[in-house]
Structure 1
Amino acid sequence: MTNLNDDLAGALDFDFSMDEPLTASAAGDAAATPVVRDRQRHLSLFSRIPVTLTLEVASVDISLAELINVDNDSVIELDKLAGEPLDVKVNGILFGKAEVVVVNDKYGLRIIEFNNKDLSELTQ
Structure 2
Amino acid sequence: MLAPSESLSRFVQAFFEGAGPTLTTLLNRPVAVAVREVVQLSPTEAVERLPLPCVLLEARYQRGLQGGHWITVGMSGALLLGHALIGEAEGEALEFTPAHADAVGETVNQILGAAGSSLKAVIMRSVAFEPVSLTVAEDSSGLPAELGVGKERLWLVRAEATGPDGFRVEMSLVVGGDLVREIAALGEEVGSRAPVAEAPVPVAAPSGIDLILDVTLPVAVELGRSRMQIQDILKLAPGSIIELDKSAGDPVDILINDRPIAKGEVVVIDENFGVRLTSIVTTTERIRTLR
Q: TM-score range by the shorter chain?
A: 0.5 to 0.7
Distance 1:72 1:44 in 2: 47
Distance 1:113 1:119 in 2: 13
AA matched with 2:223: V
Question: Do structure 1's residue 63 and structure 2's residue 72 form an aligned pair?
Answer: no
Distance 1:105 1:120 in 2: 32
Alignment of 1:65-84 (within 5 A): 65-84=231-250
Q: Which range moves more in the overlay, 69-78 or 81-90?
A: 69-78
Greater C-alpha radius of gyration: 2
1:44: Cα distance to partner?
Answer: 5.3
1:46: Cα distance to partner?
Answer: 3.0
Distance 2:211 2:269 in 1: 29
Q: What is the DSSP-based 3-state SS (H/G/I as helix, E as strand, rest coil) of the residue aligned with 2:277?
A: strand
Aligned position for 2:43: none
Aligned position for 1:22: 31
AA matched with 1:96: A
1:115: Cα distance to partner?
Answer: 2.6
Question: Do structure 1's residue 119 and structure 2's residue 128 form an aligned pair?
Answer: no
Distance 1:115 1:24 in 2: 26
Distance 1:47 1:120 in 2: 11
1:73: Cα distance to partner?
Answer: 2.3
* Of 72, 88, 108, the match for 2:274: 108
Could you state the TM-score of these two structures normalised by the residue count of structure 2?
Answer: 0.30
Distance 1:24 1:123 in 2: 25
Q: CA RMSD in A?
A: 3.2
Distance 2:18 2:231 in 1: 53
Distance 2:250 2:289 in 1: 24
Distance 1:46 1:61 in 2: 37
AA matched with 1:23: A
Q: What is the DSSP-based 3-state SS (H/G/I as helix, E as strand, rest coil) of the residue aligned with 1:118?
A: helix
Distance 1:17 1:44 in 2: 9
Q: Which range moves more in the overlay, 44-53 or 57-66?
A: 44-53
Aligned position for 2:252: 86
Equivalent pairs: percent with the same residue?
21
Distance 1:63 1:14 in 2: 53
Alignment of 1:37-56 (within 5 A): 45-56=211-222
Higher helix share: 2
Q: Deviations over 1:43-102 (max 9, x none)?
A: 653331111111000000112211110011211111000010000001100101011111
Q: Which range moves more in the overlay, 14-23 or 103-112?
A: 14-23
Equivalences, count: 101
Q: Which structure exhibits the higher relative contact order, with contacts defined as CA atoms closer than 8 Å and separated by 6 or more residues? A: 2
Could you state the TM-score of these two structures normalised by the residue count of structure 1?
Answer: 0.65
CA contact (8 A) 2:266 2:276 kept: yes
Higher strand share: 2
Q: Deviations over 1:12-35 (max 9, x none)?
A: x966843686224659xxxxxxxx
